[in-house]
Amino acid sequence: MTATSLDIGTILAYMGLALIALGGFWVIIPRIYGAPGTPTPRHLIRKTLQLADVQPGEKVYDLGAGDGRIVVAAARQFKARAVGIEIDPVHCLVAWLRALLNGVILRVSIRQENLLKADIGNADVVFVYLTPELVERLRPQLILKLRPGARVVSLYFPFAEWQPAQVDIGNLIFVYQMPPQPGSVDTFLRQGMSAA
């Protein structure tokens, strides 16, 4: 074995270890903070943003942004200004690269921080695709931080004790307007049935 082939082999080994470490960050860091890294299904991205009635120039936050697909879609398809909040540095890098490659980097900001501590006071729309436990932990923060008229979109898991303003029951998309009305998905559905 020559010194050159050993150096290349060593370099490849280190690169392999680095990739394994990055993969570990991809999985482990979100789990530590309570949110598994599950991307928003592609077929629901546009539907969630449409149901929230995202308008050009509005500020859309994605709490637990993962790979950035929501913020990129908000900026690209709806001409919104979008902010992704993500705790995992690897996900942040992927989201930033996604925004860059999609040509929306000037309308997208990716911030590495804890979604429970993020400053979201200037949000028009907040998107969450989180576990039921994190949805409940986030609820008081949304009440305190969001201004009247802001919308919160939750995929799959509704907020307890809040009545949605809009629901796509087939896709489990729930939209709430701040300040939230007391109630539940049940009261929303019953009102819809009684109005018909």
User: Burial, 136: exposed, middle or buried (Cβ in 10 Å; 0-12, 13-18, 19+)?
Assistant: middle
Whether residue 65 contacts residue 112, with contact meaning beta carbons closer than 8 Å, is answered with no
Q: Rounded distance, CA 131 to CA 155, Å? A: 10
Per-residue pLDDT of the chain (196 residues; tens, 9 = 90+): 554 556 877 777 777 776 666 555 555 555 555 555 677 888 999 999 999 999 999 999 999 999 999 999 999 999 999 999 999 898 999 999 999 999 999 999 999 999 999 999 999 999 999 999 999 999 999 999 999 999 999 999 999 999 999 999 999 999 999 999 999 988 888 887 655 5
Query: What does pTM read for this prediction?
Result: 0.81
Q: Rounded distance, CA 72 to CA 39, Å? A: 13
DSSP 124: S
**Token pair belonging to 13:** 């080994």
In the prediction, which pLDDT does 195 show?
54
In the prediction, which pLDDT does 191 show?
83
- Kindly give, in sequence order, each residue whose CB lies less than 8 Å from that of residue 99, ignoring residues fewer than 6 positions away: 68, 71, 72, 75, 105, 108, 110
Tokens 């449409």 belong to residue: 50
Q: Rounded distance, CA 13 to CA 116, Å? A: 38
H/E element, 84: strand 81-86
